[in-house]
A and B are shown apart, each in its own frame.
Chain A
Amino acid sequence: MIENRPFITAISHIVLVIGVMIIAFPIWVTFVAATHDAVRMVQVPLPLWPGSHFFENLDQTLNKGIEGGVNQGVAMMMLNSLIMAMMIAVGKIAISLISAFAIVYFRFPFRMGFFWMIFITLMLPVEVRIIPTFEVVANLNLLNSYLGLSVPLIASATATFMFRQTFLTIPDELLEAARIDGAGPMRFFKDILLPMSRTNIAALFVILFIYGWNQYLWPLLVTTDRDMYTIVMAIKQMLEAAEQAPEWNVIMMTTLLAMLPPVAVVIFMQKLFVKGLTETEK
């Protein structure tokens, strides 16, 4: 505390509370919409206080879905999203860990060449190379598959950089000691490097899980089969169906379900999330 100015502190609190309310208002409206029935949701003005149809809507959304839209419950889509997010997160961490290990702990020809090749991926977001990437995936027969959904998004320079940074801070003495004790490279990796990067792996996992779950354009292109839809992309189709017959209670329930897992991850693993966010951006 630098000075005691109760008045200014009070104003700060008021501004913060208003800020929080502005940020949270859309979610409140969404939640309220998910607790009313379809009849109430077409009457102006829309309610601002929760109704009593939450579990009905939940049941309809999870198992039946929206009429005229995807016409399928979103339970399956949530599972697809989960599988995709896990594959992306685990896959990225795995390949980045071993490539960072190779780049930091080995001297071999073309080491810097490989490093730059990985660095380039940092500069090519999916959005700017979608059409040729789509062609590659189509030619490999990976459309409508979990591999097609996740593998093209797995290569990542940020994760490799972060592990490289972590490995560089690990004292050289550890490697010397391990070698004196007769440990080979893979033994050193498994028994020393992995345990020492545990927090970084967890922090990165949190970020990558959110990244994977929230993918939109890519699943939209590579899935045409209903059984492979992810929940995030289903929202768009429901919005299109809403042009004719709005079922906002179901759409907003889907929205709620679509943001629940990543938001829960951010709130309950806040420390890891903040660590992951600040370290991957450095």
Chain B
Amino acid sequence: MLKRVHFGPSALPYLLVTPQILITIVFFIWPASQALYQSLLIQDAFGLSTEFVWFENFQTLFEDHYYLDAFDRTIFFSVLVASLSMGFSLMLAAMADRVIKGATIYRTLLIWPYAVAPVVAGALWVFMFDPTLGIFTYMLMAFGYEWNHKLNGGEAMTLVVIASAWKQVAYNFLFFLAGMQSIPKSLIEAAAIDGAGPIRRFWTIILPLISPTTFFLLVVNIVYAFFETFGIVHAVTQGGPAKSTEILVYKVFNDGFVGLDLGGSAAQSVILMAMVIGLTVIQFRYVEKKVEYS
């Protein structure tokens, strides 16, 4: 934590931490405490009077079936995104780990979607599935299926899940491949000599040995699906049709900025903050730090 050899006390260290601490207080701690405070208030529609109501906002939230639905939906959504994206990248990483020639080229070709902004990813997919013009809509039409995610909630959800998973494949692939490449070759060779085929080796050696990576990625993917997919939802469906893709982080924005329900929105923020803190603690406490990523 601290160097054994260090500089003595002076005003300098305070000066050095000042910019960061100042920004942290002004833009993080103060707003977060405001959110905490506002979550205990009810404001009338014109902002003329406010009333301190303790936990009434939270109580209302947990009795509000729209909120509870959004909760379930978010969990459903994150599980789908995480499993789709992780499954796909695990398969690709296992293949890339096998081939010796070209593994780097494949990596280059697979990691760039990481750099695509969520809202841009949303725009790409919404274009391909446009109900009148989209290329996939056209293909589906050939099979007699009429795609319209603007009317069909299930289709809207599918589209948002695909776009979110697509963007996250890059990240998962990178970490899975690094995890697999750090497994000592001698282990795999020993198993091969004992007669285990590639598939057997994957299930009994590779998969258990990369489980710390898998767990780490699971947490990262859930955090991603919970908080970073706002741009995708905003571009693709705006939470619709009929709230069928309204996930929690979208609802906070919508209730606060569009619906102007400040107390309710602040209460939702507080719940989300508690969830991020929980996930971060899990990540720090349980993620194996011994894995060597290269």
- How far, in Å, is B163 (CB) from chain A's closest CB? 9
Q: Of the 9-residue stretches A56-64, A194-202, A260-268, which lies at the interface with chain B?
A: A260-268
The proximity string for B residues 28-67 relative to A, scoring 1 for CB distances below 8 Å and 0 otherwise, is 1111101100100000000000000000000000000000
Contacts of A172 in B (CB 8 A): 3-5
Q: Are B120 and A44 in contact (CB under 8 A)?
A: no
Complex: chain A residue closest to B109, CB-CB: A20
Q: Which of A115-137 contact B (CB under 8 A)?
A: 117-118, 120-125, 127-133, 135-137
The answer to whether B235 and A121 have CB atoms under 8 Å apart is no
| Contact A217 B115, CB 8 Å, known A99-B20, A105-B7, A252-B127 | no
Given contacts A15-B95, A106-B9, A282 and B293 within 8 Å (CB-CB): yes
CA distance A19 to B88 in the complex (A): 8
Q: Would you call A108 and B13 a contact (CB within 8 A)? A: yes
One of A186, A266, A278 near B114 (C-beta < 8 A): A266
Q: Does B262 contact A (CB under 8 A)?
A: yes
Give, as a whole number of angstroms, the nearest-CB distance from B286 to chain A.
14
Give B2's nearest chain A residue, CB to CB.
A107
**CB 8 Å contact bits of B119-149 with A (1 = contact, 0 = none):** 1110111111010111100100000000000
Chain B binding surface SS class: helix
Interface flag for B100 (CB, 8 Å) = yes
Number of interface residues of A (CB under 8 A): 103
A133 to B35: give the CA distance in the assembly, Å: 9
Q: Which residue of B lies closest to A186 (CB)?
A: B12
Q: A204-231 toward B: CB 8 Å interface, digit per residue (1/0)?
A: 0000001001111100010000000000
Task: Tell whether A258 is near chain B: CB-to-CB under 8 Å.
Answer: yes
Report the separation of the CA atoms of residues A167 and B125 in the bound assembly, to the nearest whole angstrom: 43
Are B230 and A23 closer than 8 Å at their CB atoms? no
Please tell me which stretch of B68-76, B153-161, B184-192 contacts chain A, meaning at least 4 of its Cβ atoms lie within 8 angstroms of it.
B184-192
Q: B139 to chain A: closest CB distance in Å? A: 9
Q: Can you spell out 16 A-B residue pairs with CB atoms less than 8 angstroms apart?
A: A3-B192, A19-B95, A20-B109, A24-B109, A46-B135, A46-B138, A118-B20, A128-B35, A130-B269, A172-B3, A214-B116, A216-B230, A251-B123, A259-B120, A270-B108, A278-B175
Query: Does A145 interact with chain B (Cβ within 8 Å)?
Result: no
Report whether A259 and B115 are in contact in the complex, using a CB–CB cutoff of 8 Å: yes
CB 8 Å contact bits of B80-114 with A (1 = contact, 0 = none): 00000000100110011011101000111111111
Take A23-B113, A210-B115 as given contacts and tell me if A123 and B106 are in contact as well, using a CB distance cutoff of 8 Å: no
Contact status B16-A258, CB under 8 Å: no
Q: Is B180 an interface residue (CB 8 A)?
A: no
Q: Which residues of chain B have a CB within 8 Å of any CB of chain A?
A: 1-10, 12-14, 16-17, 19-21, 23-32, 34-35, 38, 88, 91-92, 95-96, 98-100, 102, 106-121, 123-128, 130, 132-135, 138, 166, 169-171, 174-175, 178, 185, 188-189, 192, 198, 216, 220, 227-228, 230-231, 234-235, 249, 252-253, 256-257, 262, 265-266, 269, 272-273, 276-277, 280, 289, 293-294
Sample of 14 more A-B contacts, CB < 8 Å, known A15-B92, A127-B252, A270-B108: A12-B96, A13-B95, A30-B124, A124-B276, A125-B276, A128-B35, A130-B257, A133-B27, A133-B31, A155-B23, A185-B7, A214-B115, A214-B116, A273-B111
B31 and A258: CB pair below 8 A? Answer: no
Query: From residue A105, how far is it (CB to closest CB) to chain B in Å?
Result: 5
Verify B31–A129 contact, CB threshold 8 A: yes
Q: Interface digits, A95-109 against B, CB 8 Å rule (1 contact, 0 not)?
A: 110110111111111
Chain B CB within 8 A of A151 CB: yes
Q: Kindly identify which residue among A106, A127, A265, A278 contacts B6, using a CB–CB cutoff of 8 Å.
A: A106
A182 within 8 A of B: no
Whether the Cβ atoms of B138 and A128 lie closer than 8 Å is no
- Report the nearest A residue to B34, measured CB to CB: A132
By CB atoms of chain B within 10 A, which of A20, A29, A133, A155 has the most?
Answer: A155
Q: Which of A13, A109, A123, A274 contacts B277 (CB under 8 A)? A: A123
Which residues of B have CB within 8 Å of A104? 1-3, 6
Docked complex Cα distance between A266 and B110 (Å) = 11
Complex CA–CA separation, A274 to B106 (angstroms): 14
A106, A236, A266 pick with most chain B CB within 10 angstroms: A106
What residues of A have a CB within 8 angstroms of the CB of B125 in the complex? 26
Q: Are A99 and B16 in contact, with the CB atoms below 8 A?
A: yes
- Interchain CB contact under 8 A, A2 and B35: no
Q: How far is A94 from B1 in the complex, measured between Cα atoms in Å?
A: 21
A241 touches B (CB below 8 Å): no
Tell me the bound Cα distance from A27 to B272 in angstroms: 33
CA distance A127 to B226 in the complex (A): 10
Q: How far is the CA of A3 from the CA of B27 in the complex (A)?
A: 57
Q: Is the CB of A135 within 8 A of B98?
A: no
Neighbouring B residues of A30 by C-beta, 8 Å: 124, 127
Interface status of A5 (Cβ within 8 A of chain B): yes
Residues of chain A lying within 8 A (CB to CB) of residue B123: 235-236, 239, 251, 255
